[in-house]
């Protein structure tokens, strides 16, 4: 990696780290874990050069705790891990969702459960990203399928987290994290960066969680002139516990959901490849989507009308987009490196349609190959 | 070799610089030769001395193959790596071996190029450590998948400052030596 050139041959993890820096991340709290460690390595090398801070903490829990603290103090912050570390981060992740602290958590997925297959790829944390932490909550999770997209979607993750005051999860995988490809890094002028909304009222009038009509309260930097309270309990507009007030609890939970659901147009992100006239729609994301794209091209060469519906935003799940794409198709084939975690989302999105739903799933640490997908496509014709 | 994805596997024992060679090959093709390359490597429990491998896919078009399926070119710098990784090589694969390290090569339809890679590094260049650079030069000759000029540019950009000359000399020596066999 050469930090001077804009055309480089980089790993997905390296591109992710450079994307974070380009997006304005200036604090990284980390703990090494394969296959995510290269992200911490790049951050450790690059952040000090630009006035940022890298800290390797004693564990995964402390690292996300520090990320939340850095963000409350006004710094864009990120951590990166893999399955076992992602499990450890769930409690603090829920805290950040609840008290609306922007941050990015990268999970470069490897085979599980538990420490599982440390060096091998998987997509088996998709449901954990959605529901790993307890309680009713929304989440945003993005999935890159190339080295360039590791950069782009990390920028987007930072932006969405700042815009909506919510942790955003980048669900990469061991293949995309480690593969090297040529990447043209965008210039600063080509990037759109989002900063969190700041209060405009005087410090004495600031209520940290008062809704201004957008469900995204302005956020002051803790430790500066705006003094406020944050609690993990259900809280009122002043940020103090409101643990027996049903109306406030109702308003709070609905507000957390509303800020995501009412802005789906900004958040939803799918990529359609040869899907317009497709009779067979493959649904895939991450490294599996690369194999799927290749399989679609193989099928097209044989005159089979296949297409790819690729999830760039996995959560919230783009039900409407999938329904629109699937409606004219005869078959939908879900391809994932897990035991079929998104199956129920696909069925929910296509409920009542004539389209038949199929799955190609594998959870043994091996990438699903283009040939495997092509064989299934042929079997559907 | 055109209009196809070429799958290249480099292997040897940990410490020979196999992974770096894979990265340089990918950089040579995609940054200096105007073609496409993806590179990946095994992150198994291999330690120094164990079998190590790096893989590169090369094409004139965008590549969606993120895992090697059937190597078209296979380089082995140790018997252990040969035995472990030769199995799925294409039946017409070009196989480059260092005869000092790989002594048992069962007969097959694959074309085998015994290039004295470690000997060239040791005797012609005077530094065993450049074995991976000699190997890259040999691979460029035998496969034609990367131009020698592009390869040299990638090597010069990658190696530590002050070592360019000896590394480039190693690449050229591997290239010239293997060329006599092609």
pLDDT at B43 over 70: no
In B, which residues are within 8 Å of A174 by CB distance? 43
* pLDDT attached to residue B181: 86
In A, which residues are within 8 Å of B4 by CB distance? none
Q: Which H or E run contains A263? A: none
Which parts of chain A fold into alpha helices (H)? 12-22, 37-46, 60-72, 83-88, 90-99, 126-131, 147-164, 174-178, 246-261, 264-267, 286-301, 319-326, 343-349, 370-380
In B, which residues are within 8 Å of A9 by CB distance? 23, 26-27, 30-31, 37, 39
What's the rounded mean pLDDT across residues B18-47?
89
Among chain A residues, CA nearest to B39: A180
Round the CA-based radius of gyration of chain A to a whole number and report it: 21
- Give the distance from CA B55 to its chain's centroid: 9
* pLDDT attached to residue A263: 98
Class of CATH domain A7-190: alpha beta
Residue B1 contacts A, CB cutoff 8 Å: no
* pLDDT attached to residue A221: 98
Query: Within a domain: residue B1?
Result: no
Pull the structure tokens for residue A145: 């399928």
Pull the structure tokens for residue A208: 């940290």
- Location of structure tokens 């992200």: A39
Task: Mutation target for A interface from B22, B64, B150: give the one with most A CBs within 10 A.
Answer: B64
Domain count across chain B: 1
What is the distance in angstroms between the Cα of A115 and the nearest Cα belonging to chain B? 15
What is the distance in angstroms between the Cα of A4 and the nearest Cα belonging to chain B? 12
Residue A8 contacts B, CB cutoff 8 Å: yes
* pLDDT attached to residue B44: 58
Q: Looking at chain A, which residues constitute the CATH 3.40.50.970 domain(s)?
A: 7-190
What is the distance in angstroms between the Cα of B65 and the nearest Cα belonging to chain A? 6
Among chain B residues, CA nearest to A287: B66
B18 Cβ partners below 8 Å, 6+ apart? Answer: B10, B11, B12, B52, B53, B54, B77, B132
Quick one: which of A216, A225, A222, A224 has its CA closest to A197?
A216
- Location of structure tokens 């409350």: A72
In B, which residues are within 8 Å of A15 by CB distance? none
pLDDT at B2 over 80: no
Among chain B residues, CA nearest to A366: B67
Nearest CB to B31: which of A182, A294, A366?
A182
Residue B83 contacts A, CB cutoff 8 Å: no
* pLDDT attached to residue B135: 98
* pLDDT attached to residue A3: 54
Ranges of residues in chain A with a pLDDT under 70 are 1-4
pLDDT at B147 over 80: yes
* pLDDT attached to residue B127: 96
A137 three-class SS: coil
* pLDDT attached to residue A65: 98
Question: Is the separation of the CB atoms in A373 and A360 below 8 Å?
Answer: yes
Q: Looking at chain A, which residues constitute the CATH 3.40.50.920 domain(s)?
A: 269-380
Question: Is the separation of the CB atoms in A156 and A17 below 8 Å?
Answer: no
Q: Is the ipTM of this complex over 0.90?
A: yes
pLDDT at B13 over 70: yes
* pLDDT attached to residue A5: 74
* pLDDT attached to residue A88: 98
Q: Which CATH number covers residue B48?
A: 3.40.920.10
Question: Is the separation of the CB atoms in B142 and B178 below 8 Å?
Answer: yes
pLDDT tens for each residue of A18-27: 999 999 999 9
Instruction: Please tell me the distance from the alpha carbon of residue A123 to that of residue A220, in angstroms, as a whole number.
Output: 37
Residue B98 contacts A, CB cutoff 8 Å: no
Instruction: Please tell me the distance from the alpha carbon of residue A178 to that of residue A120, in angstroms, as a whole number.
Output: 10
Instruction: Please tell me the distance from the alpha carbon of residue A365 to that of residue A50, in angstroms, as a whole number.
Output: 38
Task: Mutation target for A interface from B67, B153, B161: give the one with most A CBs within 10 A.
Answer: B67
* pLDDT attached to residue B1: 39
Task: Count CB atoms within 10 A of the CB of residue B82.
Answer: 25
Question: Is the separation of the CB atoms in A238 and A208 below 8 Å?
Answer: yes
A53 three-class SS: strand
A window 253-312, beta carbon within 8 A of B: 287, 290-291, 293-294, 297
Length of chain B: 182
Q: Which H or E run contains B150? A: helix B148-158
Q: Which residue has the higher pLDDT, B47 or A147?
A: A147
- Location of structure tokens 């009542």: A352
Interchain pair B39, A9: CB under 8 A: yes
Q: Which residue has the higher pLDDT, A254 or B1?
A: A254
The average confidence (pLDDT) of chain B is 93
Nearest CB to B64: which of A176, A182, A294?
A294
- DSSP assignment of B53-85, as one string? EEEEEEESS-----S-SS-SEEEESSHHHHHHH
Fold of A269-380: Rossmann fold (3.40.50)
- DSSP assignment of A164-192, as one string? HTSEEEEEEEHHHHH-EEEEEPPPGGG--
Question: Is the separation of the CB atoms in B79 and B98 below 8 Å?
Answer: no
* pLDDT attached to residue A319: 98
Question: Residues of chain B with pLDDT > 90: what percent?
Answer: 87
Instruction: For chains A and B, count residue pairs whose Cβ atoms are closer than 8 Å.
Output: 60
């Amino acid at each position: 990696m050469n930090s001077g050139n804009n055309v480089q041959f980089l790993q997905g993890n390296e591109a992710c780290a450079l994307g974070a820096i380009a997006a304005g991340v200036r604090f990284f709290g980390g703990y090494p874990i394969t296959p995510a460690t290269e992200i911490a390595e790049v951050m450790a090398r690059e952040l000090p050069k630009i006035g940022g801070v890298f800290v390797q903490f004693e564990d995964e829990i402390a690292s996300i705790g520090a990320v939340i603290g850095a963000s409350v103090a006004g710094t864009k912050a990120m951590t990166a891990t893999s399955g076992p570390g992602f499990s450890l981060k769930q409690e603090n992740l829920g805290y950040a969702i609840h008290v609306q602290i922007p941050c990015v958590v990268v999970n470069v997925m490897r085979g599980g459960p538990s420490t599982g297959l440390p060096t091998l790829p998987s997509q088996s944390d998709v449901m954990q990203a959605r529901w790993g932490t307890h309680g009713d909550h929304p989440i945003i999770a993005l999935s890159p399928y190339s080295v360039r997209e590791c950069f782009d979607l990390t920028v987007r993750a930072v932006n969405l987290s700042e815009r909506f005051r919510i942790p955003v999860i980048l669900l990469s995988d061991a293949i995309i994290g480690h593969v090297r490809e040529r990447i043209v890094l965008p210039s600063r002028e080509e990037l759109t960066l989002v900063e969190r909304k700041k209060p405009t009222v005087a410090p004495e009038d600031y209520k940290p969680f008062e809704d201004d009509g957008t469900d995204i309260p302005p956020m002051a930097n803790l430790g500066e002139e705006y003094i406020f309270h944050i609690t993990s309990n259900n809280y009122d507009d002043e940020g103090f516990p409101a643990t027996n007030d049903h109306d406030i609890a109702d308003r709070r939970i609905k507000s957390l959901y509303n800020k995501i659901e009412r802005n789906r147009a900004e958040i939803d992100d799918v990529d359609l490849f040869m899907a317009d006239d497709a009779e067979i729609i493959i649904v895939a994301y991450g490294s599996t989507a690369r194999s799927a794209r290749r399989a679609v091209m193989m099928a097209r060469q044989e005159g089979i009308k296949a297409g790819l519906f690729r999830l760039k935003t996995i959560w919230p799940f783009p039900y409407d987009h999938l329904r629109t794409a699937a409606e004219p198709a005869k078959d939908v084939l879900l391809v994932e490196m897990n035991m079929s975690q998104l199956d129920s989302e696909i069925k929910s999105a296509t409920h009542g349609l004539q389209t038949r739903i199929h799955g190609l799933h594998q959870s043994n640490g091996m990438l699903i190959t283009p040939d495997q997908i092509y064989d299934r496509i042929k079997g559907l014709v | 070799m055109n209009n196809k994805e070429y799958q290249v596997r480099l292997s040897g024992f940990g410490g020979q610089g196999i992974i770096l060679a894979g990265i340089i090959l990918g950089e040579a093709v995609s940054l200096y030769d105007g073609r496409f390359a993806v590179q990946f490597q095994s992150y198994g429990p291999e330690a120094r001395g164990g079998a190590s491998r790096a893989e590169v896919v090369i094409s004139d078009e965008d590549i969606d193959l993120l895992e090697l399926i059937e190597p078209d070119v296979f380089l082995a710098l140790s018997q252990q790596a040969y035995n472990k990784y030769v199995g799925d090589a294409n039946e017409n694969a070009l196989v480059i071996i260092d005869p000092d390290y790989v002594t048992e090569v069962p007969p097959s339809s694959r074309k085998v190029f015994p290039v004295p890679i470690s000997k060239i590094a040791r005797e012609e260049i005077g530094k065993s450590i450049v074995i991976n650079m000699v190997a890259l030069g040999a691979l460029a000759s035998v496969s034609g998948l990367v131009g020698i000029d592009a390869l040299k540019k990638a090597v010069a950009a990658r190696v530590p400052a002050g070592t360019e000359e000896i590394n480039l000399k190693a690449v050229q020596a591997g290239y010239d030596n293997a060329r006599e066999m092609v």
